[in-house]
């Protein structure tokens, strides 16, 4: 009897457990809820939210950060994939002055069409860091800024500078679209349950106006440059497969130019571009995926080709004094300049 009574009392106690401890969090879904109220206050303060702002929150969980955002802004739009959290969020603010200023969207943020917002504040599941970052940067109209909690290593890649160990293709791609600032480091013990790694909060400010560049061309160019980021560009662009790819692109562009001057007959064969996919796919970059050295094309140094086109490619590098430079130490402006020189010479990457 005593044993049964103890179990009954334990069950009753669980029913009255506050929501902070009453919902089980799934690490597999990246659910790590901020439990430090001082940290929540600091994040909101550094966000610079205005009383007229519409705030987008991603992954609100049980609403600890949501409450502070509602106090600071005009409206909060919260996107949450877990129906348990959605129910808890609605229950928490039901009947409060905040209820008519909170909109909860249940769904996967990567598959959701985001409404207008002025500022984004989010503690996100780390496994969606890369695709979410680029989804936000592609959002129109451009928002003022985003304050986001990332896994620390991912955050440091975003803010890395030329010559830093973590400087990579992700760095240059994001800095093309935005200015990024590191705000604060966050220890793992500030979360419940604690993740296995530390975190960092960064501020992302979309560039206005945007830098005008063909995104597929840019991506194809960076993939080659960061094939081996610590090799010289001369060594990278001497590889047989790189020269072969660029020469096929070159011939394709020339053929397309001719087709505008002399429209092809319907019986003419279409150019095969399937072998360009490895370089021009617009795939997302996963923070836990391959390193730059792993995102590579097959080395072709043993079978270097000697051709007029190869001389054209290397001539661009020599002309602008890039042959002995390394991608790991080039600035965004230098990458943009080098791409423009290649394009001016008729050399394209998609």
Written as tens digits, the pLDDT of the chain (350 aa) is 444 444 444 444 343 333 444 555 555 444 567 778 899 999 999 999 999 999 999 999 889 999 999 999 999 999 999 999 999 999 999 999 999 999 999 999 999 999 999 999 998 888 999 999 999 999 999 999 999 999 999 999 999 999 999 999 999 999 999 999 999 999 988 887 888 889 999 999 999 999 999 999 999 999 999 999 999 999 999 999 999 999 999 998 888 877 766 544 433 323 232 333 332 333 333 333 334 433 334 444 434 445 899 999 999 999 999 999 999 999 999 999 999 999 999 999 98
Q: Is 227 annotated as a binding residue?
A: no
The answer to whether 80 is a known ligand-binding residue is yes
DSSP strand pairing (145-151 vs 199-206):
antiparallel
Only one residue has tokens 């401890």, namely: 21
Rounded Cα distance between 332 and 171, Å, is 9
Report d(CA 80, CA 107) in Å as an integer. 6
Strand partners, 145: 119
- Tell me if residue 288 falls in helix, strand or coil: coil
Distance in angstroms (rounded) separating the CA atoms of residues 161 and 262: 48
> Tokens for 328?
């790991």
Burial bucket for residue 135 (CB in 10 Å: 0-12, 13-18, 19+)? middle
* 247 marked ligand binding residue: no
- Confirm whether residue 108 is marked as ligand binding: yes
On whether the CB atoms of residues 164 and 327 are closer than 8 A, the answer is no
Quote the strand ranges of 282-324, DSSP E: none
Q: Is 241 labeled as ligand-binding?
A: no
- pTM for this prediction: 0.78
**What domains are there in the chain, each with its CATH number?**
27-206 (3.40.50.150), 213-260+305-349 (1.10.8.480)
Is 34 annotated as contributing to ligand binding?
Answer: yes
């Amino acid at each position: 009897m005593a044993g049964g009574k103890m179990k009954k009392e334990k069950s009753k106690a669980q029913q009255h457990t506050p929501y902070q401890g009453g919902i089980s969090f799934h690490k597999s879904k990246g659910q790590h809820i901020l439990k430090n109220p001082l940290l929540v206050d600091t994040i909101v303060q550094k966000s610079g939210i205005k009383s007229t702002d519409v705030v987008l929150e991603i992954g609100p969980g049980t609403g600890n950060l949501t409450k502070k955002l509602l106090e600071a802004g005009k409206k909060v739009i919260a996107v949450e994939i877990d129906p348990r959290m959605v129910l808890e969020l609605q229950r928490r603010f039901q009947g409060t002055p905040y209820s008519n200023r909170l909109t909860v969207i249940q769904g996967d943020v990567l598959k959701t069409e985001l409404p207008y917002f002025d500022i984004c504040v989010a503690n996100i599941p780390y496994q969606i860091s890369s695709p979410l970052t680029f989804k936000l940067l592609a959002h129109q109209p451009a928002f003022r800024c985003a304050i986001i909690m990332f896994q620390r290593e991912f955050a440091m890649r975003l803010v890395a500078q030329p010559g830093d160990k973590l400087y990579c293709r992700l760095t240059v791609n994001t800095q093309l679209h935005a200015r990024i600032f590191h705000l604060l480091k966050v220890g793992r013990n500030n979360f419940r349950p604690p993740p296995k790694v530390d975190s960092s909060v960064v501020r992302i400010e979309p560039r206005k106006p945007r830098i005008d560049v063909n995104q597929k061309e840019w991506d194809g160019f960076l993939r080659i440059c960061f094939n081996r980021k610590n090799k010289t560009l001369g060594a990278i662009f001497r590889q047989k497969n790189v020269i072969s790819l660029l020469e096929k692109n070159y011939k394709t562009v020339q053929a397309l130019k001719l087709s505008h001057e002399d429209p092809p007959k319907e019986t003419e064969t279409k150019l095969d571009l399937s072998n360009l996919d490895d370089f021009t796919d617009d795939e997302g970059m996963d923070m836990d995926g391959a390193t730059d050295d792993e995102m590579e094309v097959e080395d072709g140094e043993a079978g270097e080709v000697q051709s007029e086109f190869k001389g054209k490619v290397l001539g661009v590098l020599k002309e602008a004094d890039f042959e002995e430079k390394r991608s790991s130490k080039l600035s965004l402006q230098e990458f943009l300049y080098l791409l423009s020189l290649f394009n001016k010479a008729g050399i394209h990457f998609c």
